[in-house]
Amino acid sequence: MRPSTVAHPGPTTPWLLYWVARAWMFVFRWDVEGEPPQHPKGVVIAAPHTTNWDLPHMLAASFIFRFRISWLGKDSLFRPPYGWLMRLLGGVPVDRSAARGLVQQASDMLVEADQLMIAVPPSGTRSKRDAWKSGFYWIAHSAQVPVICGYLDYGRRRAALGYSFVPTGDVDADMEKVRAFYRDVRGKFPALESTIRLKEERMLPDHGQPPSEDGDDPGPA
């Protein structure tokens, strides 16, 4: 495994988890590259998502970057007997039946938190889709926090954090840069990679407007 470009670890993740994650990546011959997030709050794009192996590799990378990653899950996952495990792995429960949609719930969490990084797989599934779900974009836009482009590139065995931006509301312009960032990134099963495009990019009358009241499902489990 080539030397990582990650800066010296900070104070967030316990050293034991840091070295366990290092060992995990060494065994699987993965590199971790990039810099830890410079902002205490944000939305991390987890893409491409084509296999269940993405989760342990993503967690290992976050431990090496020394920040805690959270993910959204339906509240039923957090009931006994396994709710404690879901929370230990960074799960945050959301209520899909609530009057305020998932986008608003997640946005409110970010506004209220002192430190929170929410990872969202915008494909919402391990199967191929013709567009990404736009929840990640509107969560960050509403909370005015950065979107951080993260990826697991199985072709080069590389986990990385890279391009980041605060959504402007100009969906076309923002997504063009996101597509450029992911152009050469390949998931474990490339045939299952979803098209990097938001549904708002295909809408003319309501172009650039946020989703309906309930919001686009950002893709919790």
Please write the tens of the pLDDT for every residue from 101-129. 889 999 999 999 999 999 999 998 888 99
**118 close to 72: Cβ distance less than 8 angstroms:** yes
Taking alpha carbons only, the member of 122, 7, 26, 109 closest to residue 67 is 7
Which 3-state string (H, E, C) describes 46-109?
Answer: EECCCCCCHHHHHHHHHHHHCCCCEEEEEHHHHCCCCHHHHHHCCEEEECCCCCCCHHHHHHHH
- How confident is residue 203, by pLDDT bands cut at 50, 70 and 90? low
Q: How are beta strands 70-74 and 158-165 bridged, if at all?
A: unpaired
Please write the tens of the pLDDT for every residue from 1-53. 443 444 444 446 678 889 999 999 999 999 999 888 888 999 999 999 999 99
What's CA 144's distance to the chain center, in Å? Answer: 16
pTM given for the model: 0.81
Question: What is the C-alpha R_g of the chain?
Answer: 17
Domains of the chain by residue range = 15-202
Task: Give the sign of the dihedral formed by CA 36, CA 122, CA 117, CA 155.
Answer: negative
